[in-house]
Chain A
Amino acid sequence: MPADPVPLLDVRDLCVSVPANGSMIRLVENVSFCVNEAEIVGLVGESGSGKSVTAMALMGLIDSPGVQVSGSARFRGQELVGMAPRALRNLRGGDIAMIFQDPMTAFTPVYTIGWQIDEQIRAHERLSRRAARARTVQLLAEMGVPDPARTAQRYPHQLSGGLRQRAMIAMALSCNPTLLIADEPTTALDVTVQAQILDLLRGLRHSHGSSVLLITHDMGVVAQTCSRTLVLYSGRMAESGPTATLFARPAHPYTAALLDSIPPLYGTRPHRLPAIAGVPPTPQERPAGCAFGPRCAYVHATCLPAPPPLASIGAGQQAACVLPTEGKPLPPRATAQAMQP
């Protein structure tokens, strides 16, 4: 592993709280990670894990009243938390761009695709309409959109889901961002189209030199796309590390259980899936100790008083679990799935 240069994005102890019933509720608690140049980092978790909130907080896009963001997020050394709105706006869509889940609702319905991409270009660069449109058409072509000049003149509802998502990515790339935040970019798409879009995202590192922060709930998507992965559970970090290590030797029982509960597509079919009993706690009901404690097979007295600190396991892997420090790490996963082609 090469020595880490200064990361592109360096997030430390990010907390996001919203007021509810007179007290502040922490949606995201002490999340730290970094994204290097030309790297795809996955942010995984189930619904309510705080993965989308984390991304929105970085971009200053949470506008619910009374929201508090604390901690630090440095993008190329610039602090994003507490940055002046105008400066943050210049970064948004410029150096940091976003892609959203549902490309149907993510475009304004009354303007053409091309108009909306032109708008972003012209918001960040002094360019004539004609020059902006020329770049738009070129971007659409690069994203594999057939007949890009005509597609640019069409309205969002006239395009298929796959084309809309390609247009969304073209729009995100329009000002050559160094960081692309993709929030569930393929969740609303069919698998065959998802495969195309993931292929496109993987290629961006080479074609545009962009880093990607990929937010998803799908472990399969992470495995196929991300070099490093961060697992969130109930607003806290459960585990982070190189994707290959994380999938082969998960250090947090939640990661291991999550991987086990995915029905396999190859190999022997288990009689019953190893499901995790219960449901993740809501932020209000989060226990004082480890948030996964109530559902964990290994829970014991040490887990209960306070959240276990993030412990380094080696080779860039970290887990918020007491097991490794107690000298009882989880066994490596039985890689039955790896046997198949």
Chain B
Amino acid sequence: MTHPTPVLELRDVRKTYRLPHGQRLRAVDGISLRVMPGEMLGLVGESGCGKSTLGRCMLRLDDVSSGQVLFEGRDITTLSERKLRPLRPGMQMVFQNSTAALNPRRSIGDLLAEPLRVHPGPDGRRRAAATITARLHELMALVGLPASALARYPHAFSGGQRQRINIARALALSPRLVVADEPVSALDVSVQAQIVNLFAELRERLGLTYVFVAHDLAVVRQISTRVAVMYLGAIVECGGTDDVLHAPAHPYTAALIAAVPRPMVGAPPAMLLRGDVPSPVNRPAGCRFHTRCPQAQARCSAEEPQLRAIRPNHEVACHYPPGEENPPA
């Protein structure tokens, strides 16, 4: 059996920030991950779990403190910005705040043409003006905006339309990998559904590989084929979307799912977790979740569980996942 090269591979990636008084904030704490071609990976977790930092590390928008980042099999961990530049068209990012990501003083056409002007075309030469114009019209059609939008300025658009423009910009150079950081969380529900659908359409038409960073489980479920749940800088559970969301193996995943208020009357009340997420500056020893875990036992506060497969394509970092009668010694 031959394995295709992952589009993105992380090997024990860590990102540590130094704080005053010699403290360290371990935002990303040893994450290994593979994203295969055509996959849509959802990265979920609560605020401060390090999911956005990890998203930026994937594209080397942030430097990692240790570990390796491989893009299409090539180690990009320590590449200089200059050597990274020819690879940039292949990996793009969509940000949460659609307004802040667009320069208000430049027209949409101008904003979208910029990457096309800066990066050479597939033949290695600068793109001709006519090629660029044709590409801009193509992009507008792709994200469902009229071509007339090109002449207008960002303020003339609603939040949902601006997010379409941001997506168009990310797609301008035909990337293989798109990392989207909370792309729909600032949008109203009715508009959010439009953008979620757009992402699904684009994957079918362009064969893209996505990483979605999001806190909304329902959105992640709709969009992704695989889900990785993060807690305090580490992945606690990872697997196929339906496996993880229908049969969560980590108590944190289960609590996260149960806590989502469901839009139906008479649903059972949420299982409540105690307290808040601990600070990533002094994270608990042992299992990082044991301070809030309803099933925590003595072993959990002493020994840190490693991510292990409990089924094909389903890994969990828990000493006592449900359904496992005899926990490994």
Contact = CB atoms under 8 A, between A and B. Distances in A.
Q: Taking each of A162, A223, A263, which has the highest tally of chain B beta carbons within 10 Å of its own beta carbon?
A: A263
B155 to A, nearest CB: 13
B191 interface: yes
Interface string B116-158: 0000000000000000000000000000000000000000001
Interface string A212-256: 000001111111110000000000000000011001100000000
Interface stretch (A115-123, A266-274, A323-331): A266-274
A197 B55 CA distance: 30
Nearest to A216: B261
B20 interface: no
Contacts of B268: 341
B256 interface: yes
Interface residues of A, number: 53
Interface string B247-289: 0000000011111111111111111110111000000000000
Interface in B141-199: 158, 160-161, 188-194, 196-197
A23 to B, nearest CB: 22
Given A193-B276, A269-B221, A273-B222, A223 B267 contact: yes
Contacts of A341: 268
B20 to A, nearest CB: 15
Interface string A172-199: 0000000000000000001111111011
Indicate the size class of the contact surface on chain B.
35 or more
A163 interface: yes
A217 B265 CA distance: 16
Contacts of A218: 261
Given A190-B47, A191-B256, A244-B266, A261 B192 contact: yes
B316 to A, nearest CB: 18
Given A273-B196, A273-B197, A224 B189 contact: no
B101 interface: no
Interface stretch (A52-60, A85-93, A127-135, A275-283): A275-283
A224 B260 CA distance: 10
A196 B272 contact: yes
B296 interface: no
Given A194-B259, A219-B189, A276-B193, A263 B222 contact: yes
Contacts of A261: 189-190, 192-193
A265 B217 contact: yes
23 contacts: A190-B46, A191-B256, A191-B259, A192-B46, A192-B255, A192-B272, A192-B273, A195-B273, A196-B273, A198-B270, A220-B260, A223-B263, A244-B265, A247-B264, A261-B189, A263-B193, A263-B221, A266-B262, A269-B222, A273-B197, A280-B188, A335-B264, A338-B266
Interface of A: 46-47, 146, 160-163, 190-196, 198-199, 217-225, 243-244, 247-248, 257-259, 261-266, 269-277, 279-280, 335, 337-338, 341
Given A192-B255, A224-B261, A262-B263, 9 more contacts: A47-B188, A191-B46, A195-B259, A195-B273, A199-B269, A247-B263, A272-B200, A337-B262, A341-B268
Closest 6 pairs (CB-CB, A-B):
A220-B261, A275-B193, A190-B46, A263-B222, A261-B193, A46-B188
